[in-house]
Amino acid sequence: MILIKCPYCGERDQSEFTSGGEAHVVRPKNPDSLSDKDWGEYVFYRNNPKGIFYERWVHSHGCKKWFNAVRNTSTDQILKVYKVNEKRPDFSDFENTLKSPSGEPSVGSGNFAVKK
């Protein structure tokens, strides 16, 4: 269980939060003007990277506020949290962070616990 820092309440256990999937997917202003394909992509398609991921969380058993977080999905490290109205931090801010404990490949899983 990881620790998550709610921007309003501070650090709390993960069990107090609910994940809300990818962040910065904005609901189109005029849905009717979108093609079926574009609308379908908004409704059904989300990124699922191994590595740096911008995602939404809600402090559901706390202040009930939604906020955004940048998490490294291969290590579960939360690199930054920020409020919904704050600017999306630049990807380059996190490029130098440890991507995985053992330098795993960017796709796939497996055990890489042994240092070569």
Give the footprint of another protein on this chain (CB under 8 A). Answer: 1-3, 20, 26-27, 30-32, 34, 36, 39-40, 42-44, 56, 58, 60, 64-66, 75-77, 84-85, 101-102, 110-116
Question: How many CB atoms are closer than 10 A to CB 87?
Answer: 7
In whole angstroms, the minimum distance from the beta carbon of 60 to Zn ion comes to 9
Q: Of Zn ion, another protein, none, which one does residue 69 interact with (CB within 5 to 8 Å by kind)?
A: none
For another protein, the closer CB: 37 or 92: 37
Minimum Å gap between C-beta 65 and another protein is 7
Secondary structure string (H, E, C) spanning 36-98: HHHHHHHHHCCCCCCCEEEEEEECCCCCCCEEEEEEECCCCEEEEEEECCCCCCCHHHCCCCC
